[in-house]
Each structure stands twice: as C-alpha cells, then as structure tokens.
Structure 1
Amino acid sequence: MKRFFFTILSFIMMLFILASCGGQKPEKIRLAEVTRSVFYTPLYIALSEGLFKEEGLDVELKTTWGGDKTMTALLSNGADIALVGSETSIYVNAQGASDPVINFAQLTQTDGTFLVARNDAGHFSWDDLKNKTFLGQRKGGMPQMAGEFVLKQKGIDPKKDVDLIQTIDFANIANSFASGTGDYVQLFEPQASIFEREGIGRIVASFGKESGRIPYTTFMAKQSYLTKNEEAVEKFTRAVYKAQQWVETHSAKEAAESIQDYFKDTELSIIESSIERYKQQRSFALEPVLAEKEWNQLQTIMDEAGELPKRTPHQELVNTRIAEKVTKNH
C-alpha cells in the first residue's frame, strides 16, 4: 500500500514539474482585421508560422469588414488591437477621445487596391474612366481617398468626370460588381485576380503604384491598453517584424502555401500571383516603424479628399518607440 501511495505521489509531482517547465500560459490578444486580404500576408505568416506563439502570445483573429466596424470593435473593447487604416485614428482623435487610438506598428506601406475594368480592349488609358460608372469604396476610407488622389493626378475629377458610387457596404462591393453594377471597380487581392480569372473584369491599374508610400494599414490600440500591456504589445510587434522579414526572404509560392488556410476558397495559384504582385510594388512594409514623412503624406491625401478634420502631429497618434526597439534589437 505504501508503495502504491508513493507511486501516486511521484506521478503527481512529475505532472507538477512538467507543467512548471511548460512555462506560463500564452497571453491572449484579440485582433480585429478590417478585411480578409492577401494584402495582409505578413499577418497571416505570423499566425501560420507560429511567430506569435514564439513570443508567448495567443492571437485570436476576427474579420470585422470595414473601417467603421473595426474601430467600433476596438473602442467598445470588443478587440484589443485593430488592423485598419491609419485615417481612422485621426477621425477618433478629432472627436475629442479621452483615450486616443495609437498607431504602433505599420503593416503595409502602399494602397492595396487595383482598378478592375468590366470591359477592356487591352489599351487602357485613365481617360477611359470619364463618363463611366466607378464603383468606389466607402467615403472617408483610405481606399476611396487614395483612389480619388490618383484620379486627380491623372486629370480626372472624381466628382464630375465619373459617376461615382459610394453607397454600397464594403463587404458587398465585389458582389455588386459581379452582378452588373459599375464599369470599373476598386478591389483588393485576391478578389481582383479572382474576377480576372472568372472573366468578370480585368486588372488595368494599381492604385498602390500610383499613390506612393503611405501608412495604409497599421496595428493600433487605445492608449490605455498600450500603457497597461506594453510588454505584450512589444512581443506582438516583434512577431510582426519577424513576419515582415519572412515575407521578404521567401518566395511568393512559399508564402502562399503557408497562408492558404486563410483563403480556403481561393486557388493557390491566385494567392501566389497576388502576393507576387504586392511584393513587386513593395506594398508590404519591411519593418513596423511608421515614419513621419509617410504620416504627413497620409494627411495630404485626406486633405485633398476633403476628409481631414485637422492636421495631427506624428508624435500625437503614432508610437514608434516600441517598433524601433524591436527592429534595433532583432
């Protein structure tokens, strides 16, 4: 009997030791992404390659479909961190938020949308858009503002020269075009390439190439969350940086194979070509530091679109300290 109890006691002690050696329970972070797109490949790499887990984090990802919905989730504590356009933090700040939303890590550095034409003879000119119906993105959102910025550079007044539709919900834009609405549409990948494969339209231009470097999509959190969870945010940012470097040093095919589970209804070849297109135009940021020059360019685009509430200094809504620490020590 003594031997039996000794055996049980030894077993319990062994379990305790093994549990102790296993380290602390991963810290959970609830992350809301504004849409599901190959544009965010580094994020999915951080998840699929276990880079968040390496940092002791359990990141729970949900798609909130639209900048307004994503920011609502963040402000109402439905998410800890949001991946969304930087312009949303400016809008919130202009409303006098007592707990401002701070951009702490940049994921993409160009516009991620493409111009898809329903009918194209193979000799595209920006003037082709004149007097045509353009199915654009949500008013005040970064895709629409960057799109208008490019159109103006090409000598097209988006308010006069095209029939601009902005009343369709973000999640339904692609379906609306597929059902016959609009001559042109502004889409992210892989949707743009899927439409091209299905013969619904053809990619004729890249807004990313035309609009230049801007902090298009960033990770952000409320100031209170950053203050209370700085160590976790640093780990999160480190994982993002590792993922950005992973994407840079691996082929589009390798990246596509790694993130395929996030696009189960999309052919692997489409995912690969979409990633390659983004890599070629340098859409993926190579590091998470959001530079002041890019922040100012963002506000210039917002101003030209008539959507900038007021100029906001870089240091007021951008925290580069965490990202700089991560990139310096890696």
Structure 2
Amino acid sequence: MLCFTLLVATCLLFSACSSDNSEEQKRDKVRIAEVTRSIFYAPQYVAIEKGYFKDEGIDIDLKTTWGGDKTMTALLSNGADIALVGSETSIYVDAQGSSDPVINFAQLTQTDGTFLVARKKPKYFSWDQLKGSTFLGQRKGGMPQMAGEYSLKKHGINPHKDMKLIQNIDYANIPNAFASGTGDYVQLFEPQASLFEQKGIGYVVASFGEESGKLPYTSYMTKQSYMKKNSDVLKRFTRALYKAQLYVETHTAKETAAIIAPHFEDTSVDLIEKVVDRYKGQHSYAVNPILEEGAWNNLQSVMKEAGELPKKADYNKLVNTTFSRDATK
C-alpha cells in the first residue's frame, strides 16, 4: 500500500511539472527593437506595465536600438522579431529589392513627435526667424528630418539654402551637441525638449507634429517570413497594443505618466505627465493600430518633398491591416 501511495504521489508530481512546463510552452517571447526610448511611445509601455502582453501569452524582450538604420538592421539580421520604427524604413528596404519584405502591421503614432527648440526665448515666434540661422536637424532620410523639412518648406523656408543645416551628428548625440553650443535651433523629441526648457538650455517654439499632419510616423513591422509563421502571435500582440491605446486615450496624462514612469527613471513623473499631455493635445498617439491608406499616401508625399522617395510604395504590399482590424472589432 505504501509503495502504491508513493507511486501515485510521484505520478502526481511529474504530472504537475508537466502541466507547468506546458503552461510555459504556451507563452511566446517577442523581441522588439524600438528606434528610441521616448514618451512618444507611451501606449507600448502601458501595454507592458499593465500586463496586456502577458494576458495574451506574450513575454516582451524590449531593446532600444537608437536610430532607424540600426533598428532595421536588427530586424533584417534576425536580431529582433518586430521593429518599432518609422514606416519609411520599410519603403527603403522594398526599394532595394528585398525577397522578404518588411510589413507594417500596427501603427503606434500618427504625427511627427519632434519639436522646434530655440536657443533663445523669443518675445514672439515666426518661422522667418530661422532664415540665416544654424539648424541642428535629424538624420538625412529619417522621418523626423523629412517632416521637419516638409514643415519648413510649408512656411517658405528652403532648409538647404536659407539656413545652415547640420545633419552629420549621430541621433543619440544631437541633444548633447545642442547643449554644448551647436546650433541656434534644434529638432528634438520629448522629454528632451521639455527638459531643456526646465534647464533653460532651449525653448519649444513650434511642433513639427502639428505642421506636417497625419502620418504613419511610428509603426510596428516585421518580415513577411515571420508574419507567415507567427500570425497568431501578431494577432495577440496587436490586441494587447490596442488595449493600451484605448487606455492612453481614455485616461488622464497623470494616470499614464504614473504607469510608464519605470521606463524613464531619469525623468520626473511631473515632466512625463507634461509630455504625455502635450502629445495627447496634438493627437500624436494613434487611437487604434490601423494604418490607413490616406496616411500612407501622406507619408510618401512628405518623402517625395524631401527628395527621399526611391519609388512609389504599394500600400497593399507593405501594409497588412488584418491584425489591427481584428483587434478593433
């Protein structure tokens, strides 16, 4: 009888272990390469901190790759499963004749996220003040720079003739370059722009997001091969993202700031709140993950204006809204 009891106990133990392992096997690890760490991506951090991804059986491995070229390299070399980066990068890859195209499947932000920061606080601001100035811009061919150029031209300023345009500074070092004295104006993301205001280093005078209109500015994308093999993972991933987008849209900036604060340890919660509120005010956060064709066409108009559109990109080839439309049902 004792032997039988021990046998049953042993079987139950192995059964429990087997069950636990089975549960673990159901979880999927997804490696995300984000182009930068920014409050601009608040819904992503909400999805992580609120456990929306975990609820969908997904464990997120998030790495910041600092720059569109590095982010796309990580994706193409299988260093990441999903890239969070400007949609223009998928157009560049397609133009090079890739046999495994990069597909945009969920949109995170819908406007440019940068701001024009002046070294000196003007009594009033007009775009004409930039003529003859030194402008510290973003990387050539990147979405921030193209949206910036589009906005400048909209106000009658040729960035390559009417000012000294600096574009040879690495993305991560642009704030430091401005802080050390380079440039009269700089194009910055948050929270750096607001942080400079706090320290008296510079002053936000305009929003490139408001100037350049609706764009698929930052999207989640993956290789076609990964999408074919992991459609269920992407379906659950997008569903979790949409929950977070709804949270940010329907809750106060203060509530969102408190949740995403762990991702910005060197930034005060009050400043995070200010930035979230600023982005919400100009409708930068997409309220759903669907990348619409109209926004895709506007993106190409901005790229063409900047002389960076290699060829017209087929929306139906490089955008897949199956997962985003399913998530919003």
| Partner of residue 230, structure 1 | 231
Residue pairs, 1:124-139, within 5 angstroms: 124-139=125-140
| Partner of residue 56, structure 2 | 55
| Partner of residue 35, structure 2 | 34
- In the aligned structure 1, how far is the partner of 2:160 from the partner of 2:18? 68
Give the partner amino acid of 1:221: T
* SS state at 1:103 partner: strand
- In the aligned structure 2, how far is the partner of 1:289 from the partner of 1:55? 19
| Partner of residue 299, structure 1 | 300
- In the aligned structure 2, how far is the partner of 1:142 from the partner of 1:322? 24
* SS state at 1:28 partner: strand
- In the aligned structure 1, how far is the partner of 2:66 from the partner of 2:327? 30
How far off is 1:9 after superposition?
A: 2.5
Identity over aligned residues, as a percent?
62
- In the aligned structure 2, how far is the partner of 1:278 from the partner of 1:285? 11
* SS state at 2:112 partner: coil
Residue pairs, 1:210-249, within 5 angstroms: 210-249=211-250
| Partner of residue 65, structure 1 | 66
Mean Cα deviation higher: 3-12 or 31-40: 3-12
Pairing 1:108–2:101 present? no
| Partner of residue 149, structure 1 | 150
| Partner of residue 167, structure 1 | 168
| Partner of residue 46, structure 1 | 47
Residue pairs, 1:5-20, within 5 angstroms: 5=6, 8-9=9-10, 12=13, 15-16=16-17, 19=20
How far off is 1:322 after superposition?
A: 1.6
| Partner of residue 159, structure 2 | 158
Give the partner amino acid of 1:96: G
Residue pairs, 1:143-292, within 5 angstroms: 143-292=144-293
| Partner of residue 123, structure 2 | 122
- In the aligned structure 1, how far is the partner of 2:172 from the partner of 2:248? 27
Give the partner amino acid of 1:125: S
- In the aligned structure 1, how far is the partner of 2:198 from the partner of 2:59? 36
How far off is 1:16 after superposition?
A: 3.8
- In the aligned structure 2, how far is the partner of 1:23 from the partner of 1:41? 28
Give the partner amino acid of 2:190: E
| Partner of residue 322, structure 1 | 323
How far off is 1:14 after superposition?
A: 6.5
- In the aligned structure 2, how far is the partner of 1:207 from the partner of 1:31? 27
How far off is 1:88 after superposition?
A: 0.3
Give the partner amino acid of 1:190: P
Give the partner amino acid of 1:123: Y
Mean Cα deviation higher: 315-324 or 268-277: 315-324
How far off is 1:202 after superposition?
A: 0.6
- In the aligned structure 2, how far is the partner of 1:323 from the partner of 1:25? 22
Measured against aligned partners, the alpha-carbon deviations of 1:65-100 in whole angstroms (never above 9, x if no partner) come to 000000000000000000000000000000000000
Give the partner amino acid of 1:42: P
How far off is 1:325 after superposition?
A: 1.4
How far off is 1:177 after superposition?
A: 0.6
- In the aligned structure 2, how far is the partner of 1:261 from the partner of 1:222? 30
Provide runs of 4+ in structure 1 moved above 3 Å. 1-4, 20-25
Measured against aligned partners, the alpha-carbon deviations of 1:242-293 in whole angstroms (never above 9, x if no partner) come to 1100101111111111010100000111100000000010000011010000
* SS state at 1:289 partner: coil
Scaled by the length of structure 2, what TM-score is found? 0.96
How far off is 1:20 after superposition?
A: 7.0
Give the partner amino acid of 1:298: L
How far off is 1:120 after superposition?
A: 1.8
How far off is 1:159 after superposition?
A: 0.6
How far off is 1:241 after superposition?
A: 0.7
- In the aligned structure 2, how far is the partner of 1:47 from the partner of 1:70? 20
- In the aligned structure 1, how far is the partner of 2:262 from the partner of 2:65? 18
Give the partner amino acid of 1:296: N
Pairing 1:75–2:112 present? no
* SS state at 2:328 partner: helix
Give the partner amino acid of 2:148: G
Unaligned segments of structure 1, at least 5 residues: none
How far off is 1:321 after superposition?
A: 1.5
* SS state at 1:164 partner: strand
- In the aligned structure 1, how far is the partner of 2:18 from the partner of 2:230? 29
- In the aligned structure 2, how far is the partner of 1:271 from the partner of 1:8? 54
- In the aligned structure 1, how far is the partner of 2:247 from the partner of 2:323? 20
Measured against aligned partners, the alpha-carbon deviations of 1:105-147 in whole angstroms (never above 9, x if no partner) come to 0000000000010012231111111101100000000000000
